[in-house]
Amino acid sequence: MIKAIAFIRRKPGLPRAEFKRHYEEIHAPLAIKYLSFARYVRNHVNDTPPLPPPDFDVVSEFWYADMDQLQATQNFLTSEDYKIIAADEETFMDREKTTAFMVEEVPSKLGTDRSGSVKFIALLKRKKGLSLADFRSHYEGVHVPLILRISTGIVGYCRNYTVAIEGMPEPPFDSFTEIWYRDLDAFKKTIAFWGTDAGKVIRDDEDSFLDRSKIVAFLADECISDLSRQRR
């Protein structure tokens, strides 16, 4: 499976609630009608404290079954038919601010039910001087097991590592990390634990491989399209 993510900002002056409504009720069905992908998810920024909102309003995730399906989408984006989607984007998106990246998805197999869960997303940048290979090795071999051993209430955990593309600038982050918590209370307990003496082991490990000054984190309202039903 091939995966891409896009960071999208709403049009200036448009309330975030209206942006979300338009995306879910109008744009997502339009995209499903014309575009070819295997899975489609929108992560709308939730302003729940204590996290400050990022400078985008949604992260959209697109999965493609293979290179042929990805190429079909790329071909559509340069066709006349794309004008239909582009025209709708102009009504609610600040299209000049959209950025997109290819990622490699590495999920943890927890085998737990995510229904009713709360989704937390963090954009992580490696510590200066650390290679991408060493960053990923430490994250998967040390940090992930540490988080799963100490943190409670996690029902899903996925790292999405950015894929370098020749001729393109380096992405501003190295991992788009997704964590699902059982509920909001479980998330808040994790945040509280992180700041305690007991949570120091997590903070110390983060300091060993992350540039914590570059972390962007937020709660997301996850909207998952049922493509089998919507494409009938």
29 burial (CB, 10 Å; 0-12 / 13-18 / 19+) is exposed
For residue 163, what pLDDT is reported?
A: 95
Q: What is the pLDDT of residue 183?
A: 95
**105-219 and 2-102 share a CATH fold:** yes
pLDDT, residue 53, reads 82
pLDDT level of residue 230 (50, 70, 90 thresholds): low
Mean pLDDT to the nearest integer, 143-170:
92
Q: Angle at Cα 105 formed by Cα 102 and Cα 108, nearest 5°?
A: 165
The per-residue pLDDT for 229 is 64
Q: Which of 47, 75, 42 is nearest to 59 (CA)?
A: 42
- Quote the pLDDT of residue 227: 86
Domain boundaries, the chain: 2-102, 105-219
Hey, which CATH number is domain 2-102, 3.30.420.40, 3.20.20.80, 3.30.70.100, 3.40.50.720? 3.30.70.100
**H or E element, residue 2:** strand 2-8
Q: What are phi and psi of 159, to 5 degrees?
A: -105, 135
- How high is the pLDDT of residue 169? 78
In the predicted structure, residue 8 carries a pLDDT above the cut 60: yes
**Contacts with 105 (C-beta within 8 Å, 6 or more apart), sequence order:** 1, 3, 158, 159, 160
pLDDT at residue 187 tops 60: yes
* Residue 166: per-residue pLDDT: 82
CB 24 within 8 A of CB 40: no
Once rounded to an integer, what is the mean pLDDT over residues 129-153? 96
Say how many CA atoms lie within 13 Å of 138 toward its Cβ: 15
The answer to whether the peptide bond before residue 172 is cis (omega within 30 degrees of 0) is: no
Q: Is domain 105-219 classified as CATH 3.30.70.100?
A: yes
As given in the structure block, the two tokens for residue 83 are 């004008």
For residue 129, pLDDT beyond 60? yes
Mean pLDDT of the chain: 94
